[in-house]
Amino acid sequence: MFFIAQRHFRTRRREKGYTASILSVSGIAVGVMTLTAVLAVMNGFQLDTIEDILEINSYHLRISASELQSNASPLDLSRRSGVRTVLPFIELQTIARGFFEEPQAVVLRGVPVDVLDLDPGIAERIEMVSGEFSLASHGSLVIGSQLARHLGVRVGDTVTFLDLGSGDAALRNPREVEFQVRGVFYSGFLEYDRSWGFISLQEAESMFGAGDDLTWGIKLNDRFNDIRMREQIAEYLELNTAQVLSWRDFNRAIFGALRVEKTVLMFLIGLIFLVVAVNIYQALRRSVVERSEEIAVLKALGAPPQAVQLVFVVEGLMIGVLGAFIGTALGLFISQNINGVFAAAELALGGLAVVVSLVGGGGASPVPFFSPEHFYIMEVPSHMLFSEVLGVFLAAVASAASAGYFASLRAAWIKPAEVLRDE
């Protein structure tokens, strides 16, 4: 039956040639290619966002220093297996004013002066645009690139912060605290570049009086091991498990939104497979009608209906496997070279714009797809997961095989005597 299905797939059909087979394979290939490339780009954006949040902001586990009652120090956790980094920090909400008069809302984070040595994760996620990440000297400040632009400051300039403190008196008459910009960083995450600054932990305690707000941030070797490590750390520090916050707790909203976004996009693009499956079904159904004489001969020679059906199921399976293989190869190629693909598309559209301008007498302008002026990215990230590639491949094959099965049901009802008598 596999041999017959192969002959059916490769043989020209009446008046239509190879068009039906080519269109069926092409439909599967385009669907797989599109879904693979889109998932790779979406994974790139989402994983970059997740890494920025976990490495710069939230950590994997958090413990408030005010809740610690035992004599055990959180610093001792850094020697435990599975723990990568343990850092104290203080986070402050304040208002900043620089060269420009318009004040800016700022998140100031007080960290140890050697934070980049203690936590390589932060060092990997931020890039110094100017100056250096130095908090050792008195009144040192490192701020995001967009915040520096909105404040109108650069390295060496002074930024004034309001010590809002706590209580009505502090809010009515806030104290001003000045810091000197030692460095400007770029993370690629707009929220941090637009509203974040780093100062030393000691100055966050002394100049803002925020010692009671001390929090311990813990990073694990495997962030998905947070549930087990959370229980162990809570037991070691004599805390309730609920007092050790996981990244799943304080990032639930944004990570849930990312998951829903990806699920909806997969569903919408997955509809391509449904459309292609319907086309394959119609093509194979026409094939059943066109080959009714051959089916009648097979049945007359003793082939059971299930064997005849298997011919068209295998033909659909062949369409699915071939189309999925081609689509996966193209999708992986595009995913790995996505920035080159966009550059080539920009070049082609730019050339077309030049031709149009020469014909119409107007001025040509470049056609950027992802310009940093409009999108807060320098390049399009891409990350492909093997499980998703395999899932897309199997979904494509399954849709084509299902179309072949439903198309083959008509073949099971063909009666050899009636067909051969009419012929």
pLDDT given at position 341: 86
**Dihedral sign of CA atoms 100, 106, 108, 114 in order:** negative
pLDDT given at position 85: 92
**Segment among 261-275, 301-315, 359-373 with least mean pLDDT:** 359-373
pLDDT of 45-65, one tens digit each? 989 989 999 999 989 999 988
User: How big is the chain by its Cα radius of gyration, in Å?
Assistant: 32
**Segment among 159-173, 209-223, 273-287, 316-330 with least mean pLDDT:** 159-173
Task: Give the whole-angstrom CA distance, residue 24 versus residue 284.
Answer: 10
pLDDT of 349-399, one tens digit each? 777 777 777 776 555 565 566 666 566 777 888 999 999 899 999 988 998
**Segment among 164-173, 273-282, 354-363 with least mean pLDDT:** 164-173
Task: Give the whole-angstrom CA distance, residue 45 versus residue 48.
Answer: 5
pLDDT given at position 359: 74
Asked if residue 257 has pLDDT above 80, the reply is yes
Helix 338-360 with 305-336: angle, nearest 10 deg:
80
pLDDT given at position 200: 94
Nearest-CA neighbor of 57 among 154, 234, 186, 191?
191
Q: Percent of the chain scored above 70 by pLDDT?
A: 82
Token representation of residue 4? 């017959």
Task: Give the whole-angstrom CA distance, residue 387 versus residue 394.
Answer: 11
pLDDT given at position 17: 52
Task: Give the whole-angstrom CA distance, residue 252 versus residue 262.
Answer: 15
Q: What are phi and psi of 249, to 5 degrees?
A: -75, -55
pLDDT given at position 368: 64
For residues 26 and 332, is the Cβ–Cβ distance under 8 A?
Answer: no
Asked if residue 34 has pLDDT above 60, the reply is yes
Strands 61-64 and 196-200, bridge-based pairing: unpaired
Asked if residue 333 has pLDDT above 70, the reply is yes
| Secondary structure (3-state) at 381 | coil
**Segment among 79-93, 138-152, 201-215 with least mean pLDDT:** 201-215
Half-sphere exposure of 227 (CA within 13 A, CB side): 2
**Dihedral sign of CA atoms 50, 51, 52, 53 in order:** positive
pLDDT given at position 5: 54
Write down the domain spans for the chain.
2-47+255-422, 83-220
| DSSP, residue by residue, 287-310 | HHHHTHHHHHHHHHTT--HHHHHH
pLDDT given at position 69: 74
Tell me how far apart the 2 most distant CA atoms of the chain are, in Å.
Answer: 103
